[in-house]
Amino acid sequence: MSKRNLLNLVLFVSILILVGLVIYEPGKDKPIIPNKLTNLKAEDINHIKISRHQIATGEQEISFKKTKDGWDIIKPYPLSANTFRIESILKLLSTVSLSQNKLENLDQANFGLKKPYVTIQFNNKTAIIFGHNKSLKHYRYVKIGTTLHMINDTFYYQLSAKIESYINHKLLPEKSKIRKLVLPNMKLEQENGKWKLTPESESFSADSINQLISEWELSQAYDLNKVRTQPHTKPDITVHLDNNKTIRFKINNKKDDFSLLNIDLGIRYILSLVRKNKLLNLLGIEQND
């Protein structure tokens, strides 16, 4: 072997040794891997139930199920769920458990577990029970089985939020398709794969009809609230979906925005005035209020 090749070999071996020293850093303790609250994986969860035991306002129980289109609320309202909210909840599974103690020799009342604040159950099996945060700053006690954990307190406030925050802000369920749309001044209905407009008019193109339908299938409210509806309220708008589901809305006009009240569920979708004309008319021609 030539001196040059021998020198290259020595340099190569030296580099490998240096890389090994950098990676393994002899004499330095291995990094501590924090304990996760559970070993469950978010992608394996298909059912979630939240029981709010000490929430003064709002629904006391909320349950969700995973579908091929995302997540749906099962209780208290059959609506699409807010995907961002569900993903935030699922992060609870892998959050760091800052301490773990066996409860067998502890008084659970000292941690708020005799009268839990919130319980969340995954896949009808694993339950995480939330106690209080007294004497803690930004942390909270939770119980899984016979073990007491301490975790970041942000999850409690997510789970105790009003039901409106769990609802998808879209007017219609995810990936739903409209079969018939009845508006105050017109009706659109599919016949043999084409849209039929009533009353008939030649001043509107097929593109404008498709645009109106698309607005309904994609539009989202910027806010929601729960209201009490009056019995026998007549709808201003009726949407018939391809799954034979019917959704009825009442129009509420205000100075700065307008809203659509889902009559059957008592959910008001608040939208900007810009959306009003796009949802109620063809070609942007305003209707008379």
Domain segments of the chain: what residues? 42-166, 178-280
* pLDDT score recorded for residue 14: 46
The helix/strand count (H/E) of the chain reads as 5, 16
Q: What is the band of 200 on the pLDDT scale with cuts at 50, 70, 90? A: confident
Q: What is the pLDDT of residues 89-116, one digit of tens each?
A: 999 999 999 989 999 889 999 999 988 9
Walk across the sheet containing 178-183 and list its strands: 194-198, 186-191, 178-183, 237-241, 246-253, 257-262, 267-272, 223-226
Model-level pTM greater than 0.85? no
In the chain, the percentage of residues whose pLDDT exceeds 90 is: 49
State mean pLDDT over 243-268: 89
* pLDDT score recorded for residue 85: 93
* pLDDT score recorded for residue 233: 86
Measured between alpha carbons, how far is 178 from 188 in angstroms, rounded to an integer? Answer: 10
Whether residue 221 contacts residue 269, with contact meaning beta carbons closer than 8 Å, is answered with yes
Burial of 118 (0-12, 13-18, 19+ CB in 10 A): buried
* pLDDT score recorded for residue 254: 76
* pLDDT score recorded for residue 35: 86
Q: What is the band of 33 on the pLDDT scale with cuts at 50, 70, 90? A: confident
Measured between alpha carbons, how far is 202 from 179 in angstroms, rounded to an integer? Answer: 21
